[in-house]
């Protein structure tokens, strides 16, 4: 499937080469060797030589900062098999000689008071973030974590996460 990308336009308008594709695959292998993530996966969200790294980290909850201190936007999030958490989104502009680019990242954080589960996408351009986040949301909702002792990970509300007001849904639609 990836060989179908050869010849497609790259971000700079030039044609994608097999070396471009090999370089992106090698980048993922190199990152996997040094990453502390529990799981790391490379996503190719569009039919182009553009790949994004996604990660799943599990760390001690002691190291969790107050979510209200996040340098970005914090929303309440819910995972079907995990419980309440937060969606942490950031956006910034990187300036370089000859121009600038906007990059974004989206992460989901869940804690049971002992461990923090962090699922996210590395910083990338908005067009890729949009494509990857749909899959990340789906993964979040099927993800389940069971500890070695058999205890199922069940998150609790994180400090500093605003409570989102839900809209009441009636059988005939939303009511305001």
Quote the pLDDT of residue 170: 54
Q: How many CA atoms lie within 13 A of 64 on its CB side?
A: 28
Per-residue pLDDT tens digits for 81-127: 999 999 999 999 999 888 898 999 999 999 998 999 999 998 988 88
Within-domain flag for 147: yes
Quote the pLDDT of residue 135: 87
Closest CA to 130 of 91, 163, 166, 99: 91
Quote the pLDDT of residue 172: 59
Within-domain flag for 166: no
Closest CA to 126 of 36, 46, 66: 46
Within-domain flag for 104: yes
pTM, rounded to two decimals: 0.79
Within-domain flag for 58: yes
The residue ranking higher by pLDDT, 67 or 158, is 158
Residue 34: which domain range?
A: 2-161
Within-domain flag for 89: yes
pLDDT over 50 at 141, yes or no: yes
Task: Tell me the two tokens of residue 92.
Answer: 């910034």
Within-domain flag for 167: no
Can you give the CATH number for the domain in which 96 is found? 3.40.1000
* pLDDT above 90: percentage of residues in the chain: 30
Within-domain flag for 168: no
How much is the average pLDDT of 22-29? Answer: 87
Highest mean pLDDT among 6-15, 17-26, 45-54, 107-116: 107-116
Domain count of the fold of the chain: 1
Please state, in angstroms and rounded to a whole number, the distance separating the CA atoms of residues 158 and 141: 18
């Amino acid at each position: 499937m990836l060989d179908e990308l050869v010849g497609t336009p790259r971000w700079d308008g030039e044609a994608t080469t097999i070396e471009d594709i090999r370089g992106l695959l090698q980048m993922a292998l190199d990152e996997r060797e040094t990453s502390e993530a529990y799981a790391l996966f490379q996503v190719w969200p569009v039919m182009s030589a553009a790949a994004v790294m996604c990660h799943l980290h599990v760390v001690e909850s002691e190291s969790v900062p107050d979510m209200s201190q996040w340098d970005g936007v914090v929303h309440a999030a819910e995972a079907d098999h995990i419980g309440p958490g937060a969606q942490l989104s950031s956006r910034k502009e990187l300036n370089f000689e000859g121009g600038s680019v906007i990059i974004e990242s989206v992460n989901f954080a869940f804690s049971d008071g002992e461990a923090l589960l962090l699922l996210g996408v590395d910083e990338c351009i908005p067009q890729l973030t949009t494509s990857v986040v749909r899959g990340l949301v789906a993964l979040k909702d099927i993800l389940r974590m069971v500890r070695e002792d058999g205890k199922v990970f069940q998150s609790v509300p994180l400090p500093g996460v605003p409570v989102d007001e839900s809209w009441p849904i009636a059988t005939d639609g939303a009511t305001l």
